[in-house]
Chain A
Protein backbone atom coordinates (compact mmCIF):
# COMPACT_ATOMS: atom_id res chain seq x y z
CA UNK A 1 0.00 0.00 0.00
CA UNK A 2 1.36 3.36 -0.98
CA UNK A 3 1.12 6.11 1.56
CA UNK A 4 -0.10 9.43 0.22
CA UNK A 5 2.23 12.37 0.02
CA UNK A 6 2.55 14.23 3.25
CA UNK A 7 0.25 17.15 3.70
CA UNK A 8 2.85 19.45 5.11
CA UNK A 9 1.83 21.28 8.17
CA UNK A 10 1.11 24.91 7.41
CA UNK A 11 1.57 24.14 3.71
CA UNK A 12 1.79 27.17 1.48
CA UNK A 13 3.12 29.30 4.22
CA UNK A 14 6.16 29.36 6.43
CA UNK A 15 5.81 27.62 9.79
CA UNK A 16 6.81 30.92 11.32
CA UNK A 17 3.44 32.44 10.57
CA UNK A 18 1.29 30.04 12.57
CA UNK A 19 1.77 27.94 15.67
CA UNK A 20 2.73 24.37 14.94
CA UNK A 21 1.93 21.75 17.57
CA UNK A 22 3.83 18.48 17.76
CA UNK A 23 2.81 15.91 20.34
CA UNK A 24 5.37 13.24 21.10
CA UNK A 25 4.33 10.18 23.05
CA UNK A 26 5.80 6.86 24.07
CA UNK A 27 6.83 4.91 27.11
CA UNK A 28 9.66 5.42 29.53
CA UNK A 29 13.15 4.71 28.18
CA UNK A 30 12.40 5.25 24.49
CA UNK A 31 13.96 8.69 24.17
CA UNK A 32 10.93 10.94 23.91
CA UNK A 33 12.73 13.71 25.69
CA UNK A 34 15.66 13.52 23.31
CA UNK A 35 13.56 13.91 20.19
CA UNK A 36 11.53 16.72 21.67
CA UNK A 37 14.72 18.47 22.70
CA UNK A 38 16.06 18.14 19.15
CA UNK A 39 12.92 19.70 17.75
CA UNK A 40 12.86 22.49 20.32
CA UNK A 41 16.52 23.31 19.76
CA UNK A 42 16.02 23.34 16.01
CA UNK A 43 13.12 25.79 16.34
CA UNK A 44 15.11 27.99 18.64
CA UNK A 45 18.03 28.05 16.19
CA UNK A 46 15.59 29.08 13.49
CA UNK A 47 14.61 32.11 15.59
CA UNK A 48 11.15 30.84 16.51
CA UNK A 49 9.49 30.99 19.88
CA UNK A 50 9.13 27.46 21.26
CA UNK A 51 7.39 26.06 24.29
CA UNK A 52 7.87 22.53 25.49
CA UNK A 53 5.93 20.76 28.20
CA UNK A 54 6.60 17.21 29.24
CA UNK A 55 5.48 14.66 31.73
CA UNK A 56 7.99 12.05 32.72
CA UNK A 57 9.87 10.82 35.73
CA UNK A 58 6.91 9.27 37.46
CA UNK A 59 6.60 6.88 34.56
CA UNK A 60 9.86 5.01 35.13
CA UNK A 61 10.60 2.35 32.59
CA UNK A 62 7.52 1.18 30.78
CA UNK A 63 5.19 3.92 31.95
CA UNK A 64 3.64 6.53 29.68
CA UNK A 65 5.69 9.63 28.75
CA UNK A 66 4.58 12.51 26.60
CA UNK A 67 5.95 15.84 25.44
CA UNK A 68 4.16 18.82 23.93
CA UNK A 69 6.23 20.97 21.59
CA UNK A 70 4.68 24.16 20.18
CA UNK A 71 6.52 26.67 18.04
CA UNK A 72 5.87 29.75 15.90
CA UNK A 73 6.33 33.51 15.88
CA UNK A 74 4.43 33.83 19.11
CA UNK A 75 3.36 30.91 21.34
CA UNK A 76 1.11 31.56 24.30
CA UNK A 77 0.18 28.22 25.77
CA UNK A 78 2.65 25.36 26.12
CA UNK A 79 -0.12 22.76 26.08
CA UNK A 80 -1.77 21.35 22.98
CA UNK A 81 -5.56 21.14 23.33
CA UNK A 82 -7.36 18.00 22.16
CA UNK A 83 -7.83 17.91 18.40
CA UNK A 84 -5.18 20.55 17.69
CA UNK A 85 -1.97 18.59 17.30
CA UNK A 86 -0.53 19.02 13.83
CA UNK A 87 1.72 16.04 14.28
CA UNK A 88 1.42 13.12 16.65
CA UNK A 89 4.73 11.30 16.91
CA UNK A 90 4.39 7.97 18.71
CA UNK A 91 7.39 5.94 19.67
CA UNK A 92 5.12 3.11 20.76
CA UNK A 93 2.02 1.91 18.92
CA UNK A 94 -0.45 1.62 21.78
CA UNK A 95 0.57 4.98 23.19
CA UNK A 96 -0.04 6.47 19.75
CA UNK A 97 -3.55 5.06 19.72
CA UNK A 98 -4.25 6.47 23.17
CA UNK A 99 -3.49 10.02 22.00
CA UNK A 100 -5.16 9.87 18.59
CA UNK A 101 -7.95 12.19 19.70
CA UNK A 102 -5.36 14.98 20.12
CA UNK A 103 -4.68 14.95 16.40
CA UNK A 104 -6.23 17.69 14.26
CA UNK A 105 -9.14 16.02 12.43
CA UNK A 106 -8.47 15.33 8.74
CA UNK A 107 -5.27 17.37 8.66
CA UNK A 108 -3.10 16.00 11.45
CA UNK A 109 -0.11 13.84 10.67
CA UNK A 110 0.32 10.57 12.56
CA UNK A 111 3.76 9.02 12.77
CA UNK A 112 4.23 5.85 14.74
CA UNK A 113 6.40 2.88 15.35
CA UNK A 114 4.31 -0.26 14.96
CA UNK A 115 6.02 -2.00 17.84
CA UNK A 116 3.91 -2.59 20.90
CA UNK A 117 5.46 -2.53 24.32
CA UNK A 118 2.98 -4.34 26.52
CA UNK A 119 3.13 -3.20 30.11
CA UNK A 120 3.59 -6.06 32.56
CA UNK A 121 0.30 -5.33 34.30
CA UNK A 122 -1.80 -5.37 31.13
CA UNK A 123 -4.08 -8.39 31.06
CA UNK A 124 -2.88 -9.48 27.69
CA UNK A 125 -4.21 -12.96 27.27
CA UNK A 126 -5.90 -14.23 30.36
CA UNK A 127 -7.89 -16.57 28.22
CA UNK A 128 -5.09 -18.99 27.45
CA UNK A 129 -4.53 -19.25 23.73
CA UNK A 130 -6.81 -16.30 23.02
CA UNK A 131 -5.44 -13.62 20.67
CA UNK A 132 -3.87 -10.74 22.60
CA UNK A 133 -6.32 -7.97 23.27
CA UNK A 134 -3.80 -5.24 23.99
CA UNK A 135 -3.92 -2.53 21.27
CA UNK A 136 -5.60 -4.88 18.86
CA UNK A 137 -6.09 -2.42 15.94
CA UNK A 138 -3.73 -3.13 13.05
CA UNK A 139 -1.69 -0.25 11.52
CA UNK A 140 -3.66 -0.59 8.30
CA UNK A 141 -6.92 -0.05 10.16
CA UNK A 142 -5.61 3.05 11.89
CA UNK A 143 -3.79 4.63 8.96
CA UNK A 144 -6.81 4.02 6.78
CA UNK A 145 -8.86 6.18 9.14
CA UNK A 146 -6.45 9.12 9.15
CA UNK A 147 -5.66 11.87 6.65
CA UNK A 148 -1.95 11.32 6.79
CA UNK A 149 -0.30 8.50 8.61
CA UNK A 150 3.04 6.80 8.70
CA UNK A 151 3.34 3.51 10.44
CA UNK A 152 6.75 1.97 10.28
CA UNK A 153 8.92 -0.53 12.04
CA UNK A 154 11.32 2.13 13.28
CA UNK A 155 12.76 -0.19 15.86
CA UNK A 156 13.56 -2.74 13.18
CA UNK A 157 15.19 -0.10 11.00
CA UNK A 158 17.30 1.12 13.87
CA UNK A 159 18.33 -2.40 14.79
CA UNK A 160 19.45 -2.98 11.20
CA UNK A 161 21.58 0.13 11.56
CA UNK A 162 23.21 -1.29 14.65
CA UNK A 163 21.34 0.26 17.61
CA UNK A 164 17.71 -0.42 18.40
CA UNK A 165 17.60 2.58 20.68
CA UNK A 166 17.98 4.93 17.72
CA UNK A 167 14.38 4.17 16.74
CA UNK A 168 13.43 7.59 18.07
CA UNK A 169 15.79 9.24 15.59
CA UNK A 170 14.37 7.17 12.72
CA UNK A 171 10.98 8.61 13.61
CA UNK A 172 12.54 12.06 13.82
CA UNK A 173 13.63 11.54 10.21
CA UNK A 174 10.04 10.83 9.27
CA UNK A 175 8.93 13.88 11.23
CA UNK A 176 11.44 16.06 9.37
CA UNK A 177 9.59 15.43 6.11
CA UNK A 178 6.48 16.98 7.59
CA UNK A 179 8.16 20.17 8.76
CA UNK A 180 9.93 22.94 6.81
CA UNK A 181 13.43 22.76 8.21
CA UNK A 182 16.46 21.94 6.06
CA UNK A 183 18.00 18.50 6.44
CA UNK A 184 21.40 19.97 7.41
CA UNK A 185 19.84 21.91 10.29
CA UNK A 186 18.30 18.69 11.67
CA UNK A 187 21.58 16.81 11.37
CA UNK A 188 23.49 19.61 13.00
CA UNK A 189 21.24 19.65 16.07
CA UNK A 190 21.16 15.86 16.33
CA UNK A 191 24.93 15.73 16.19
CA UNK A 192 25.13 18.29 18.96
CA UNK A 193 22.60 16.67 21.31
CA UNK A 194 23.11 12.91 21.12
CA UNK A 195 25.88 11.21 23.09
CA UNK A 196 29.14 11.49 21.08
CA UNK A 197 29.51 7.73 20.64
CA UNK A 198 26.12 7.48 18.96
CA UNK A 199 26.42 10.38 16.53
CA UNK A 200 27.00 8.18 13.50
CA UNK A 201 24.17 5.77 14.12
CA UNK A 202 21.78 8.62 14.90
CA UNK A 203 22.66 10.47 11.73
CA UNK A 204 22.17 7.26 9.75
CA UNK A 205 18.88 6.62 11.55
CA UNK A 206 17.64 10.13 10.75
CA UNK A 207 18.47 9.72 7.07
CA UNK A 208 16.91 6.26 7.03
CA UNK A 209 13.70 7.72 8.40
CA UNK A 210 13.64 10.39 5.71
CA UNK A 211 14.41 7.81 3.02
CA UNK A 212 11.64 5.52 4.27
CA UNK A 213 9.02 8.18 3.55
CA UNK A 214 10.06 8.35 -0.11
CA UNK A 215 8.85 4.80 -0.80
CA UNK A 216 6.82 4.05 2.22
CA UNK A 217 4.67 0.97 2.28
CA UNK A 218 2.59 -0.11 5.19
CA UNK A 219 4.24 -2.99 6.95
CA UNK A 220 2.08 -6.04 7.21
CA UNK A 221 1.02 -6.49 10.78
CA UNK A 222 3.40 -8.75 12.59
CA UNK A 223 1.88 -12.22 12.64
CA UNK A 224 0.65 -13.33 16.04
CA UNK A 225 2.82 -16.03 17.54
CA UNK A 226 1.75 -19.43 16.34
CA UNK A 227 -0.69 -20.89 18.84
CA UNK A 228 0.26 -24.10 20.61
CA UNK A 229 -1.29 -27.31 19.39
CA UNK A 230 -4.31 -27.32 21.69
CA UNK A 231 -5.08 -23.67 21.20
CA UNK A 232 -7.76 -23.97 18.53
CA UNK A 233 -9.78 -25.69 21.22
CA UNK A 234 -8.75 -23.39 24.02
CA UNK A 235 -9.47 -20.34 21.94
CA UNK A 236 -13.09 -21.36 22.02
CA UNK A 237 -13.35 -21.39 25.79
CA UNK A 238 -16.38 -19.51 27.00
CA UNK A 239 -16.23 -17.90 30.44
CA UNK A 240 -19.54 -18.14 32.25
CA UNK A 241 -20.18 -16.53 35.60
CA UNK A 242 -22.54 -18.34 37.94
CA UNK A 243 -23.96 -15.95 40.49
CA UNK A 244 -25.72 -17.16 43.62
CA UNK A 245 -28.02 -14.20 44.13
CA UNK A 246 -29.13 -15.32 47.58
CA UNK A 247 -25.54 -15.16 48.87
CA UNK A 248 -24.52 -11.78 47.39
CA UNK A 249 -24.51 -8.93 49.88
CA UNK A 250 -23.71 -6.20 47.38
CA UNK A 251 -20.32 -5.20 48.81
CA UNK A 252 -19.30 -3.96 45.35
CA UNK A 253 -15.78 -5.43 45.51
CA UNK A 254 -16.17 -7.53 42.35
CA UNK A 255 -17.70 -4.63 40.44
CA UNK A 256 -14.85 -2.29 41.28
CA UNK A 257 -12.07 -4.84 40.80
CA UNK A 258 -13.24 -6.32 37.48
CA UNK A 259 -10.53 -5.29 34.98
CA UNK A 260 -13.01 -5.46 32.10
CA UNK A 261 -15.71 -3.54 33.96
CA UNK A 262 -18.26 -6.14 33.00
CA UNK A 263 -20.07 -6.45 36.33
CA UNK A 264 -22.57 -4.16 38.02
CA UNK A 265 -24.96 -4.12 40.94
CA UNK A 266 -28.60 -4.25 39.97
CA UNK A 267 -31.49 -2.42 41.61
CA UNK A 268 -31.47 -4.94 44.44
CA UNK A 269 -27.75 -4.36 45.01
CA UNK A 270 -26.90 -7.80 43.69
CA UNK A 271 -24.14 -8.38 41.19
CA UNK A 272 -25.00 -9.07 37.54
CA UNK A 273 -22.75 -9.51 34.49
CA UNK A 274 -23.31 -6.58 32.14
CA UNK A 275 -21.10 -7.78 29.29
CA UNK A 276 -20.49 -11.54 29.47
CA UNK A 277 -18.51 -11.43 26.22
CA UNK A 278 -15.93 -9.14 27.78
CA UNK A 279 -15.14 -11.53 30.61
CA UNK A 280 -11.62 -12.88 30.23
CA UNK A 281 -11.97 -15.42 33.01
CA UNK A 282 -9.41 -13.76 35.26
CA UNK A 283 -11.34 -14.85 38.37
CA UNK A 284 -10.69 -11.69 40.39
CA UNK A 285 -14.42 -11.46 41.10
CA UNK A 286 -14.62 -15.07 42.28
CA UNK A 287 -11.54 -14.77 44.44
CA UNK A 288 -12.49 -11.45 46.00
CA UNK A 289 -16.13 -12.28 46.74
CA UNK A 290 -16.36 -12.56 50.53
CA UNK A 291 -19.77 -14.19 50.15
CA UNK A 292 -18.73 -16.97 47.71
CA UNK A 293 -21.55 -15.76 45.45
CA UNK A 294 -19.56 -15.91 42.20
CA UNK A 295 -18.24 -18.98 40.44
CA UNK A 296 -16.52 -18.89 37.09
CA UNK A 297 -17.09 -21.78 34.72
CA UNK A 298 -14.84 -22.35 31.72
CA UNK A 299 -16.74 -24.15 29.05
CA UNK A 300 -16.31 -25.45 25.55
CA UNK A 301 -19.08 -26.03 23.04
CA UNK A 302 -20.29 -29.61 23.16
CA UNK A 303 -19.04 -30.37 19.65
CA UNK A 304 -15.57 -29.10 20.55
CA UNK A 305 -15.43 -31.08 23.74
CA UNK A 306 -17.86 -33.97 23.62
CA UNK A 307 -19.05 -35.04 27.03
CA UNK A 308 -16.53 -37.34 28.56
CA UNK A 309 -13.77 -36.14 26.26
CA UNK A 310 -10.44 -35.68 27.93
CA UNK A 311 -10.24 -31.94 27.72
CA UNK A 312 -8.48 -30.69 30.74
CA UNK A 313 -5.20 -30.38 32.44
CA UNK A 314 -3.68 -33.25 30.54
CA UNK A 315 -4.46 -31.87 27.12
CA UNK A 316 -3.17 -28.46 28.09
CA UNK A 317 -0.16 -29.89 29.83
CA UNK A 318 0.76 -31.61 26.60
CA UNK A 319 0.25 -28.39 24.68
CA UNK A 320 2.58 -26.55 26.99
Chain B
Protein backbone atom coordinates (compact mmCIF):
# COMPACT_ATOMS: atom_id res chain seq x y z
CA UNK B 1 0.00 0.00 0.00
CA UNK B 2 1.19 3.47 -0.78
CA UNK B 3 0.08 6.51 1.17
CA UNK B 4 -1.62 9.27 -0.77
CA UNK B 5 -2.42 12.84 0.18
CA UNK B 6 -5.35 14.67 -1.31
CA UNK B 7 -6.09 17.43 1.15
CA UNK B 8 -4.35 19.64 3.68
CA UNK B 9 -5.54 17.25 6.38
CA UNK B 10 -3.88 14.33 4.61
CA UNK B 11 -0.59 16.17 4.35
CA UNK B 12 -0.54 17.39 7.94
CA UNK B 13 1.03 14.93 10.35
CA UNK B 14 1.16 16.75 13.67
CA UNK B 15 4.07 14.62 14.78
CA UNK B 16 6.33 16.53 12.41
CA UNK B 17 5.77 19.55 14.65
CA UNK B 18 6.15 17.85 18.02
CA UNK B 19 9.04 16.95 20.26
CA UNK B 20 8.26 13.27 20.19
CA UNK B 21 10.56 12.44 23.09
CA UNK B 22 8.26 14.49 25.35
CA UNK B 23 5.22 12.30 24.71
CA UNK B 24 2.76 11.26 25.95
CA UNK B 25 2.12 14.80 27.10
CA UNK B 26 1.16 15.62 30.66
CA UNK B 27 -2.39 16.86 29.98
CA UNK B 28 -5.31 15.02 31.58
CA UNK B 29 -7.46 12.65 29.48
CA UNK B 30 -9.84 14.65 27.32
CA UNK B 31 -8.17 18.01 27.96
CA UNK B 32 -9.22 20.49 25.30
CA UNK B 33 -5.78 22.05 25.18
CA UNK B 34 -4.50 19.19 23.03
CA UNK B 35 -7.14 19.99 20.42
CA UNK B 36 -6.15 23.65 20.47
CA UNK B 37 -2.51 22.69 19.94
CA UNK B 38 -3.46 20.52 16.97
CA UNK B 39 -5.36 23.39 15.37
CA UNK B 40 -2.45 25.76 15.98
CA UNK B 41 0.16 23.48 14.47
CA UNK B 42 -2.10 22.66 11.56
CA UNK B 43 -2.44 26.39 10.85
CA UNK B 44 1.35 26.75 11.09
CA UNK B 45 1.67 23.85 8.64
CA UNK B 46 -0.77 25.36 6.16
CA UNK B 47 0.99 28.71 6.31
CA UNK B 48 4.28 26.97 5.56
CA UNK B 49 6.05 28.56 8.52
CA UNK B 50 9.56 27.22 9.01
CA UNK B 51 9.88 25.62 12.44
CA UNK B 52 13.26 27.30 12.84
CA UNK B 53 11.58 30.69 12.44
CA UNK B 54 8.69 29.93 14.75
CA UNK B 55 8.74 31.03 18.38
CA UNK B 56 6.10 29.85 20.82
CA UNK B 57 5.91 31.72 24.12
CA UNK B 58 3.71 30.50 26.94
CA UNK B 59 3.04 31.44 30.54
CA UNK B 60 2.23 29.37 33.57
CA UNK B 61 -0.59 26.87 33.98
CA UNK B 62 -1.80 23.99 31.86
CA UNK B 63 -1.85 26.15 28.73
CA UNK B 64 1.64 27.32 29.56
CA UNK B 65 2.99 23.80 29.33
CA UNK B 66 2.06 23.43 25.67
CA UNK B 67 5.12 25.21 24.32
CA UNK B 68 7.40 22.45 25.56
CA UNK B 69 5.78 19.99 23.15
CA UNK B 70 6.29 22.09 20.02
CA UNK B 71 9.40 21.46 17.94
CA UNK B 72 10.28 25.14 17.54
CA UNK B 73 11.98 27.92 19.47
CA UNK B 74 9.92 27.70 22.64
CA UNK B 75 9.83 29.80 25.78
CA UNK B 76 7.98 28.85 28.94
CA UNK B 77 8.12 32.08 30.91
CA UNK B 78 6.74 33.50 34.16
CA UNK B 79 3.10 33.60 35.20
CA UNK B 80 1.11 36.10 33.18
CA UNK B 81 4.10 37.51 31.35
CA UNK B 82 4.26 35.71 28.01
CA UNK B 83 2.93 38.72 26.09
CA UNK B 84 5.44 41.06 27.72
CA UNK B 85 8.25 38.59 27.03
CA UNK B 86 7.06 38.09 23.47
CA UNK B 87 7.03 41.84 22.95
CA UNK B 88 10.74 41.96 23.70
CA UNK B 89 11.44 38.87 21.62
CA UNK B 90 9.54 40.12 18.59
CA UNK B 91 11.10 43.57 18.77
CA UNK B 92 14.54 41.98 18.90
CA UNK B 93 13.69 39.48 16.18
CA UNK B 94 11.11 40.76 13.70
CA UNK B 95 12.04 37.82 11.46
CA UNK B 96 10.43 35.31 13.82
CA UNK B 97 6.76 34.36 13.84
CA UNK B 98 5.91 34.77 17.51
CA UNK B 99 2.87 32.97 18.91
CA UNK B 100 1.80 33.35 22.52
CA UNK B 101 -0.20 30.68 24.33
CA UNK B 102 -1.86 31.80 27.53
CA UNK B 103 -4.81 30.74 29.65
CA UNK B 104 -7.74 32.45 31.34
CA UNK B 105 -5.82 32.91 34.58
CA UNK B 106 -2.46 33.64 32.97
CA UNK B 107 -3.85 36.03 30.38
CA UNK B 108 -6.81 37.66 32.08
CA UNK B 109 -5.93 37.73 35.76
CA UNK B 110 -2.23 38.00 36.55
CA UNK B 111 -1.42 38.97 32.97
CA UNK B 112 -4.45 41.13 32.22
CA UNK B 113 -2.46 44.33 32.08
CA UNK B 114 -0.07 42.92 29.51
CA UNK B 115 -2.97 41.69 27.38
CA UNK B 116 -4.71 45.04 27.07
CA UNK B 117 -1.49 46.84 26.27
CA UNK B 118 -0.47 44.24 23.71
CA UNK B 119 -3.87 44.79 22.08
CA UNK B 120 -3.33 48.54 22.12
CA UNK B 121 0.24 48.44 20.84
CA UNK B 122 -0.48 46.29 17.77
CA UNK B 123 2.89 44.57 17.55
CA UNK B 124 2.74 41.64 15.14
CA UNK B 125 2.04 38.85 17.64
CA UNK B 126 -0.62 36.15 17.75
CA UNK B 127 -2.13 35.39 21.15
CA UNK B 128 -4.14 32.23 21.85
CA UNK B 129 -6.04 32.40 25.09
CA UNK B 130 -7.17 28.92 26.06
CA UNK B 131 -10.22 29.48 28.22
CA UNK B 132 -11.21 26.50 30.31
CA UNK B 133 -12.78 28.53 33.12
CA UNK B 134 -10.46 27.33 35.82
CA UNK B 135 -6.96 27.21 37.28
CA UNK B 136 -6.39 23.57 36.48
CA UNK B 137 -2.71 23.25 37.29
CA UNK B 138 -3.12 24.42 40.87
CA UNK B 139 -6.08 22.18 41.54
CA UNK B 140 -9.18 23.94 40.29
CA UNK B 141 -9.55 27.45 41.67
CA UNK B 142 -11.96 30.08 40.36
CA UNK B 143 -10.74 32.16 37.40
CA UNK B 144 -11.94 35.40 35.78
CA UNK B 145 -13.97 33.36 33.29
CA UNK B 146 -15.54 30.80 35.63
CA UNK B 147 -19.27 30.83 34.91
CA UNK B 148 -21.73 31.95 37.52
CA UNK B 149 -22.69 29.33 40.11
CA UNK B 150 -19.90 26.96 39.12
CA UNK B 151 -18.10 25.17 41.90
CA UNK B 152 -14.36 25.42 42.27
CA UNK B 153 -12.08 24.71 45.18
CA UNK B 154 -12.16 28.40 46.11
CA UNK B 155 -15.87 28.88 45.46
CA UNK B 156 -17.26 26.05 47.57
CA UNK B 157 -20.71 27.66 47.50
CA UNK B 158 -20.59 28.43 43.78
CA UNK B 159 -19.00 31.34 41.95
CA UNK B 160 -20.59 34.71 42.63
CA UNK B 161 -18.27 36.94 40.61
CA UNK B 162 -19.14 38.19 37.13
CA UNK B 163 -16.94 36.93 34.31
CA UNK B 164 -14.85 38.51 31.59
CA UNK B 165 -15.69 38.44 27.93
CA UNK B 166 -12.09 38.20 26.76
CA UNK B 167 -12.90 39.04 23.15
CA UNK B 168 -14.78 42.18 24.06
CA UNK B 169 -11.91 43.14 26.33
CA UNK B 170 -9.44 42.69 23.47
CA UNK B 171 -11.66 44.60 21.10
CA UNK B 172 -12.09 47.42 23.59
CA UNK B 173 -8.34 47.57 24.09
CA UNK B 174 -7.87 48.11 20.38
CA UNK B 175 -6.76 44.73 19.00
CA UNK B 176 -6.79 44.72 15.22
CA UNK B 177 -7.86 41.06 15.00
CA UNK B 178 -10.18 39.32 17.47
CA UNK B 179 -11.83 35.92 17.14
CA UNK B 180 -13.18 33.00 19.10
CA UNK B 181 -13.70 29.32 18.40
CA UNK B 182 -14.22 26.12 20.37
CA UNK B 183 -11.87 23.16 20.38
CA UNK B 184 -14.77 21.01 19.16
CA UNK B 185 -14.39 22.68 15.74
CA UNK B 186 -10.79 21.78 15.06
CA UNK B 187 -10.73 22.60 11.33
CA UNK B 188 -12.64 25.85 11.88
CA UNK B 189 -10.31 26.79 14.70
CA UNK B 190 -7.39 26.00 12.42
CA UNK B 191 -8.75 28.35 9.77
CA UNK B 192 -9.28 31.07 12.37
CA UNK B 193 -5.75 30.68 13.68
CA UNK B 194 -4.32 30.68 10.20
CA UNK B 195 -6.00 33.98 9.56
CA UNK B 196 -4.86 35.32 12.93
CA UNK B 197 -1.23 34.39 12.35
CA UNK B 198 -1.27 35.81 8.83
CA UNK B 199 -2.80 39.05 10.11
CA UNK B 200 -0.27 41.86 10.34
CA UNK B 201 -0.50 43.33 13.81
CA UNK B 202 -1.70 41.94 17.11
CA UNK B 203 -4.26 39.17 16.80
CA UNK B 204 -6.19 37.72 19.69
CA UNK B 205 -8.00 34.37 19.55
CA UNK B 206 -9.96 32.99 22.46
CA UNK B 207 -10.25 29.23 22.34
CA UNK B 208 -13.06 27.69 24.34
CA UNK B 209 -11.37 24.66 25.85
CA UNK B 210 -12.38 22.00 28.37
CA UNK B 211 -10.97 21.08 31.75
CA UNK B 212 -12.45 17.62 31.98
CA UNK B 213 -10.76 16.12 35.00
CA UNK B 214 -11.01 19.01 37.43
CA UNK B 215 -13.64 21.55 36.40
CA UNK B 216 -15.83 19.05 34.59
CA UNK B 217 -15.74 16.60 37.43
CA UNK B 218 -16.39 19.18 40.13
CA UNK B 219 -19.40 20.51 38.28
CA UNK B 220 -20.74 17.17 37.04
CA UNK B 221 -20.44 18.26 33.41
CA UNK B 222 -20.10 14.71 32.18
CA UNK B 223 -17.24 12.72 30.73
CA UNK B 224 -14.87 13.98 28.05
CA UNK B 225 -17.07 13.38 24.99
CA UNK B 226 -20.03 14.95 26.74
CA UNK B 227 -18.01 18.03 27.64
CA UNK B 228 -16.86 18.45 24.07
CA UNK B 229 -20.48 18.24 22.92
CA UNK B 230 -21.53 20.75 25.55
CA UNK B 231 -19.47 23.37 23.77
CA UNK B 232 -21.82 23.11 20.86
CA UNK B 233 -24.80 23.88 23.05
CA UNK B 234 -23.32 27.15 24.19
CA UNK B 235 -21.97 28.47 20.94
CA UNK B 236 -22.91 29.45 17.45
CA UNK B 237 -21.14 31.32 14.71
CA UNK B 238 -21.43 35.08 14.97
CA UNK B 239 -22.03 35.23 11.23
CA UNK B 240 -25.40 33.59 11.80
CA UNK B 241 -26.49 36.77 13.52
CA UNK B 242 -30.20 36.71 14.26
CA UNK B 243 -31.22 34.85 11.16
CA UNK B 244 -34.69 33.45 11.63
CA UNK B 245 -33.73 29.98 10.48
CA UNK B 246 -31.13 29.67 13.26
CA UNK B 247 -33.22 30.62 16.27
CA UNK B 248 -32.14 27.72 18.40
CA UNK B 249 -30.74 29.35 21.48
CA UNK B 250 -29.42 32.50 23.03
CA UNK B 251 -25.86 33.21 22.10
CA UNK B 252 -23.58 33.58 25.11
CA UNK B 253 -20.48 32.60 23.14
CA UNK B 254 -20.57 33.74 19.56
CA UNK B 255 -17.72 32.36 17.47
CA UNK B 256 -15.87 33.58 14.43
CA UNK B 257 -13.93 36.72 13.63
CA UNK B 258 -15.23 39.79 15.46
CA UNK B 259 -12.59 42.35 14.54
CA UNK B 260 -10.41 42.46 11.46
CA UNK B 261 -8.95 45.84 10.61
CA UNK B 262 -5.84 47.28 9.10
CA UNK B 263 -3.98 49.31 11.70
CA UNK B 264 -0.40 50.51 11.62
CA UNK B 265 1.85 47.78 12.99
CA UNK B 266 4.03 48.81 15.93
CA UNK B 267 7.39 47.82 14.53
CA UNK B 268 6.74 49.44 11.17
CA UNK B 269 5.84 52.68 12.91
CA UNK B 270 8.92 52.42 15.07
CA UNK B 271 11.20 51.77 12.12
CA UNK B 272 9.81 54.75 10.24
CA UNK B 273 10.41 56.89 13.31
CA UNK B 274 13.95 55.66 13.85
CA UNK B 275 14.81 56.11 10.18
CA UNK B 276 13.83 59.75 10.58
CA UNK B 277 15.93 59.99 13.75
CA UNK B 278 18.99 58.66 11.93
CA UNK B 279 18.60 61.20 9.13
CA UNK B 280 18.66 64.08 11.61
Contact = CB atoms under 8 A, between A and B. Distances in A.
Interface of A: 128, 234, 237-238, 240, 244, 246-253, 255-257, 283, 286-293, 295, 297-302, 305-307, 309, 311-313, 316
B205 to A, nearest CB: 18
A256 B4 contact: no
B38 A287 contact: yes
Interface string B11-38: 0011100100001110111111111001
Contacts of B38: 287, 292
B2 A291 contact: no
Given A253-B224, A287-B186, A299-B4, A247 B24 contact: yes
A292 B32 contact: no
A231 B79 CA distance: 54
Contacts of B32: 290
> From DSSP, what is the main secondary structure of chain A's interface residues?
loop
Contacts, number: 101
Given A251-B212, A288-B35, A290-B33, 12 more contacts: A246-B23, A252-B223, A253-B224, A257-B225, A283-B9, A286-B9, A287-B186, A288-B186, A291-B24, A291-B29, A292-B25, A309-B2
A291 B29 CA distance: 8
B1 interface: yes
In terms of DSSP, what is the predominant structure of the interface of chain B? mixed
Interface of B: 1-7, 9-10, 13-15, 18, 23-25, 27-35, 38, 184, 186-187, 212, 223-225, 228
A131 to B, nearest CB: 18
Contact of A290 (B5, B13, B31): B31
Nearest to A233: B4
Given A252-B225, A253-B30, A290-B35, A246 B4 contact: no
Contacts of A128: 6
B227 to A, nearest CB: 9
A299 B228 contact: no
Contacts of B223: 251-252
B3 A297 contact: yes
17 contacts: A238-B1, A240-B1, A244-B23, A246-B23, A251-B223, A252-B30, A252-B225, A253-B30, A256-B225, A257-B225, A299-B2, A299-B3, A300-B4, A302-B1, A305-B4, A313-B6, A316-B6
A251 B30 contact: yes
Contacts of A250: 29
Contacts of A291: 24-25, 27, 29, 34
B2 A307 contact: yes
A292 B3 contact: no
A16 B9 CA distance: 63
A290 B224 CA distance: 10
B4 to A, nearest CB: 5
Contacts of B187: 287
Nearest to B223: A252
